[in-house]
């Protein structure tokens, strides 16, 4: 018994020492840098535009500037392949791309600060272009930081690096969300009393905050992965590769946005029922993606780019994943990735509306969710990293799945008792603690699945798949609540998380702790 206790103590001491590793700490600052851009497109920019007198319809259009985030897997393969002139030789493959993305983010934020949206339609157009640049640059930074994190440390440190990255990301979102609103208010801009100077100064400060990430990028070491893992092409081939992507991306934009009116009419003709709207949205997205794929395929067939280059860039990352794990295990992993976060993501879509509907004030919600909840989620992430480092990723992944499902029951209790402030803090605390623990462990799990030959591409695919189905289902959470009420809805979010526990258990039988298949790389049986 004494020996066991001593071993346990030594294990915890080692995990704590690992938390102070320079590589682990650096992810706190890079995570912060990754967390800053998103809310400068969403909540902060939306409030700025509304104070400037921009109509609600135009404001909501700006949310499209964040579309690069869910679709980052499309150009992530290019990040694995394309060198940057001079910067790659100076900083290395990963740091060069992070540095470039950060400079583009700063430039986009500065450009947004120089535009007064109240001065006419031309200024709104310029603001929209700057917001798109910010969205694309922010998503690119996410891609490369994820690849850098996976490549810069062995599997035993990935759980802790994931936890500090998630913690930094959440702090960055607080700074760019609540922080920017507080700054704009303190500088004198309020609803009904708009001040462009206040928002100008606020966004300039947000641009300066990004220097934290820039300095971190310059100070950290480039991962010691061999450049020989990727084939080196002539410069002309890289240019053609980039050209094919740009034209295919334009085809996606044309196919998706030019067909928007058509699908609006189709949904109206079908009666705007939830199920038909859902199916039409899937078809709408498929049309845009199909346009891009068809355009890219046609350009390859016409000889615009070498077929081998196109295959290695876009198809080999997918083929590598299936060849390493086999079809059965690969499909099991993909199902787990697509469903692991389903309970908390579906709940999160409607949580703030729920709080308001049962009688809490905006101040009470903001204090509980945006302040208390954020700190609890950071603590949960660090706890998840320590536990996964000590006991293994798969065990804590299973624990996170079980707790995520069970945590929904606290919202059932809150729905039944109504506007009870201690119960609100209990529900928010439990939800954020579990979400932080599960998120950090899940990021470590996804990291273990990637191949260093296709790190950026494969992780981008995994992270996009993680949000795809839960976000689609979350879009119908309001309709579900209308049908079965809030208590029934939270029971529903609890129940849909139970199958995830089984998926984790099955995956644990097929995978070792570090994410490598126990079975043969062919067949996965």
pLDDT (tens digit per residue) in 2-13: 444 555 555 555
Angle at 357 between CA 39 and CA 348, to 5 degrees: 40
- Tell me the percentage of the chain whose pLDDT exceeds 90: 32
Q: Report pLDDT digits (tens) over 182-191.
A: 898 889 888 7
Which residue, 68, 150, 28, 25, is CA-closest to 444? 150
pLDDT digits (tens, 9 = 90+) for 122-181: 888 899 899 989 999 999 999 999 999 998 888 778 888 888 998 999 899 889 888 888
**Strongest mean pLDDT among 74-88, 128-142, 477-491:** 128-142
Q: Residue 6: its pLDDT value, please?
A: 52
Output Rg (C-alpha) for the chain, integer angstroms.
Answer: 23
Helix pair 121-151, 455-474: axis angle to 10 deg: 120
Q: Are 333 and 434 in contact (CB under 8 A)?
A: no
* Three-state SS at 82: coil
Task: Give residue 148's pLDDT.
Answer: 93
Q: What angle do CA 151, 449, 434 make, to 5 degrees?
A: 100
Closest to 112 measured CA to CA, from 93, 126, 94, 96: 126
Residue 413 has pLDDT above 90, yes or no: yes
Q: How many CA atoms lie less than 13 Å away from 164 in the CB half-sphere?
A: 21
Per-residue model confidence (pLDDT) at position 519 = 38
CA 80 to chain centre: 19
Alpha-carbon torsion 325, 339, 68, 440, what sign? negative
In the predicted structure, residue 198 carries a pLDDT above the cut 70: yes
pTM of this prediction? Answer: 0.80
Query: Residue 301 in contact with residue 229, Cβ under 8 Å?
Result: no
Rounded to whole angstroms, the Cα distance separating 227 from 74 reads 22
Half-sphere exposure at residue 185, Cβ-oriented, CA atoms within 13 angstroms: 9
């Amino acid at each position: 018994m004494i020996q066991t206790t001593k071993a346990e103590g030594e294990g915890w001491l080692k995990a704590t020492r690992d938390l102070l590793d320079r590589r682990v700490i650096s992810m706190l600052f890079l995570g912060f840098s990754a967390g800053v851009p998103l809310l400068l497109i969403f909540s902060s920019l939306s409030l700025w535009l509304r104070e400037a007198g921009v109509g609600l319809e135009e404001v909501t259009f700006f949310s499209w500037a964040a579309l690069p985030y869910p679709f980052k897997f499309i150009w992530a393969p290019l990040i694995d392949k394309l060198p940057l002139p001079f910067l790659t030789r100076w900083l290395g493959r990963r740091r060069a791309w992070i540095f470039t993305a950060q400079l583009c983010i700063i430039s986009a934020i500065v450009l947004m600060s120089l535009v007064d949206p109240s001065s006419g339609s031309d200024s709104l157009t310029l603001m929209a272009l700057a917001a798109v640049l910010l969205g694309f640059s922010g998503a690119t930074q996410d891609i490369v930081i994820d690849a850098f994190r996976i490549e810069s440390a062995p599997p035993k440190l990935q759980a802790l690096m994931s936890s500090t990255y998630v913690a930094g990301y959440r702090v960055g979102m607080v700074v760019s969300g609540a922080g920017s609103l507080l700054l704009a208010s303190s500088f004198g801009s309020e609803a009904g009393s708009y001040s462009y100077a206040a928002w100008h100064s606020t966004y300039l400060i947000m641009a300066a905050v990004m220097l934290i990430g820039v300095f971190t990028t310059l100070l950290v070491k480039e991962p010691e992965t061999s450049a020989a893992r990727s084939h080196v092409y002539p410069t002309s081939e890289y240019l053609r590769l980039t050209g094919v992507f740009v034209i295919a991306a334009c085809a996606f934009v044309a196919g998706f946005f030019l067909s928007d009116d058509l699908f609006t009419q189709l949904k109206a003709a079908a009666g705007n029922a939830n199920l038909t709207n859902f199916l039409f949205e899937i078809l709408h997205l498929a049309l845009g993606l199909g346009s891009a794929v068809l355009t890219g395929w046609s350009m390859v067939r016409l000889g615009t780019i070498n077929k081998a280059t196109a295959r290695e860039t876009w198809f080999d990352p997918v083929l590598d994943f299936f060849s390493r794990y086999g079809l059965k295990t690969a499909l099991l992993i993909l199902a787990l990735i697509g469903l692991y976060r389903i309970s908390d993501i579906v709940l999160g879509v409607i949580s703030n509306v729920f709080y308001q509907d049962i009688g809490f004030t905006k101040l009470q919600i903001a204090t509980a969710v945006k302040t208390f909840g954020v700190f609890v989620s950071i603590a949960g992430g660090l706890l998840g990293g320590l536990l996964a480092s000590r006991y293994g990723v798969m065990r804590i992944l299973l624990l996170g799945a079980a707790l995520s499902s069970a945590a929904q029951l606290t919202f059932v209790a809150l729905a039944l008792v109504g506007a009870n402030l201690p119960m609100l803090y209990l529900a928010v605390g439990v939800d954020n603690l579990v979400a932080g623990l599960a998120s950090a462990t899940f990021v470590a799990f996804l990291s273990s699945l990637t191949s260093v030959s296709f790190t950026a591409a494969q992780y981008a695919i995994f992270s996009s798949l993680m949000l795809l189905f839960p976000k689609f289902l979350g879009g119908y959470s309001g309709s579900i609540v209308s049908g079965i009420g809030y208590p029934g809805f939270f029971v529903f979010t609890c129940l849909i998380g139970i199958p995830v526990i089984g998926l984790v258990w099955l995956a644990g039988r097929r995978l070792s702790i570090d994410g490598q298949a126990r079975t043969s790389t062919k067949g996965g049986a």
